[in-house]
Structure 1
Amino acid sequence: MSDKTYHHGNLRNALIEVGISLIHSEGIERLSLRRVAALCGVSQAAPYAHFENKEALLDAMRAYATERFTQALETAMQTVPNEDDPELLVEMGKQYVLFFLENPQYFNFIFSQSWMQIDLDLTNDSPTNFPPFLLLKTNTVRIYRKLGVPDEKIEDMVIAMWASVHGLTSIATMRNVHYSKDWSKKIEDIIRNN
């Protein structure tokens, strides 16, 4: 096998992306450094320059997917000038779904793994809470507290909002679901009406 030429950082990211795609298409049991190397067209030894073992690759994949998802939500937040405007939550919700429509392999990878933790309680902002969810929860709490909404109602809103965008994402990324219209328009309509 002839090695492809990768810039040092590019090979690391390529191995991560291929690993996520492999898990999405074939399951975690098919993941190995050897298999990822073959799919990237590099030597079997090449991944070891970046990852000590399969678990290290999985850790890097988790961090990479989480960071990309968090960045997508943060970018959506920047489109709303006033951070206390409820429109911020609409934009975050839209981006939540659109991110996974553009990267469906991330959805199953992130949400089918036991490493990811989500705490719905308003009183718990544990550092182990999944960062993209914590971002959504923190902004929802801040916005609705400023509007004078009681915490019990806010907690319901957090759960309902997450259920809505997560459910939409689940439907939109299913391989056997067909929808011929524009998902981005439909997503916004559903978020605004719920």
Structure 2
Amino acid sequence: MTTRKKPYHHGDLRQTLLNAAVELISSGGVENLSIRKLADQVGVSRTAPYHHFQDKNELLCAIAEQGFARQDQIMTDAKRYATGDNLAEIFETYVLNYLRFADQNRETYDLMYGREIWRAGKPTESLQAVSRHSFRIWRQWIETLFEQGMFDRNESPRRIAQAHWASLHGLCRLFNDGVYINHEERDDIARTMLRAMLRAGG
């Protein structure tokens, strides 16, 4: 028997649906999610979700968008405390928080960067826009470090940003997929990776 969630207030059904969808995915994977099951989970008519999401793919894209927004906030929060004297330290804080976000939101992270949407599905225009925006924020960080002489001047800041984001994403995948499981090791590996990145440019 489906348990009806607490009644939602007028105007927040979309967010209620997104939250419930993440719960369903967390408990049984993407295959556990359907519009019909989602409606039953929230306790609304089975047509109600379609007022907010055209189909399952659009719903998954919305979850991914939400993830990018949260990821961007991590970066924004870190940059707020950055100065010319502590850029490397703040950058390390951001990277560690990025890894924790990926670990604590594995299903969302998989949708943000996985084939479920980008290869098997169809990313919405809004998802494509927020993902590009997220990379721009990352690139701005790299450019700031580049201007401070922390990376090789012979390299393109854009290529540096792409290469190091790929490294960071790879580390997230190794932990999310269970190859590495010790969280203390995760942070140590991340710090070693960062030192290698910055030393290469120094």
Same fold flag (TM > 0.5): yes
1:100 aligns with 2:118: no
The residue that corresponds to 2:53 in the other structure is 51
- What is the root-mean-square deviation of aligned Cα atoms in Å? 3.5
Q: Tell me how far 1:135 sits from its aligned partner.
A: 0.9
Q: Tell me how far 1:111 sits from its aligned partner.
A: 0.7
Distance 1:166 1:176, change over 3 A: closer
Normalising by structure 1, report the TM-score. Answer: 0.72
Larger mean Cα displacement after TM superposition, 69-78 or 13-22: 13-22
Q: Tell me how far 1:25 sits from its aligned partner.
A: 6.0
1:76 aligns with 2:78: yes
The residue that corresponds to 2:64 in the other structure is 62
Structure 1 residues 85-122: Cα deviation after superposition (integer angstroms, max 9, x where no partner) = 343432332222121112111221111121399xxxxx
Secondary structure in 2 aligned to 1:109?
Answer: helix
The residue that corresponds to 1:168 in the other structure is 171
Note the 1:25-174 alignment, pairs <5 A.
26=28, 28=30, 31-82=33-84, 85-112=87-114, 113-114=117-118, 115=123, 130-147=132-149, 149-150=152-153, 152=155, 154-174=157-177
Q: Which amino acid aligns with 1:19?
A: A
The residue that corresponds to 1:192 in the other structure is 195
Higher-helix-fraction structure: 2
CA distance in 1, matches of 2:16, 2:74: 19
Equivalent residue for 1:6, pick from 5, 8, 11: 8
User: Which residues of structure 2 form unaligned runs of 5+?
Assistant: 198-202
- Count of residue pairs the alignment pairs up: 186
The residue that corresponds to 1:123 in the other structure is none
Q: Tell me how far 1:5 sits from its aligned partner.
A: 0.7
Q: Which amino acid aligns with 1:60?
A: A
The percent of aligned pairs where both chains have the same amino acid is: 25
Q: Which amino acid aligns with 1:150?
A: R
Q: Which amino acid aligns with 2:176?
A: T
Q: Is the 8 A contact 2:17 2:49 kept in 1?
A: yes
Q: Which amino acid aligns with 1:72?
A: I
User: Which residues of structure 1 form unaligned runs of 5+?
Assistant: 118-125
Q: Which amino acid aligns with 1:131?
A: H
Distance 1:127 1:67, change over 3 A: closer
Q: Tell me how far 1:165 sits from its aligned partner.
A: 1.2
Q: Tell me how far 1:34 sits from its aligned partner.
A: 1.1
Structure 1 residues 69-92: Cα deviation after superposition (integer angstroms, max 9, x where no partner) = 111221222232449834343233
Distance 1:103 1:32, change over 3 A: same
